[in-house]
Amino acid sequence: MPWVNSTQMLVPFQYANTVMPKCPPSQTAKISWIYGYQSEICRDNVKYNLNGNIIYPIGRYVVLYDISLHSQKLFTGHQREITALAIHPVIHNTLLLFN
């Protein structure tokens, strides 16, 4: 593998003589806003709740978009992509999610 020896040149110049830590960083990334909508593998899963907020899945997250406040609440409990979403016909503040 001739590229193995050339990867040492990929270190930025200011870090050339610095020992880089091997442990993960202490900070974690946090999602602040989700853009887009997944419509290729799932259909008819954009819903309105009784407050007029828009609810839709994107990947493994569910977005509750408040139109009047232009804000999002993100539900992040799923480990796999959500492919179906429904609002309970009797208890209108209950979501049914499916993988």
Mean pLDDT value across the chain? 80
Q: Which residue has the higher pLDDT, 70 or 83?
A: 70
Q: Mean of the pLDDT values across residues 62-78?
A: 92
The answer, yes or no, to whether residue 4 has pLDDT greater than 70, is no
Q: What percent of the chain has pLDDT over 70?
A: 80
* Of 10-24, 29-43, 57-71, highest mean pLDDT: 57-71
- How far apart are alpha carbons 86 and 89 in whole angstroms? 9
Q: What angle do CA 83, 71, 29 make, to 5 degrees?
A: 70
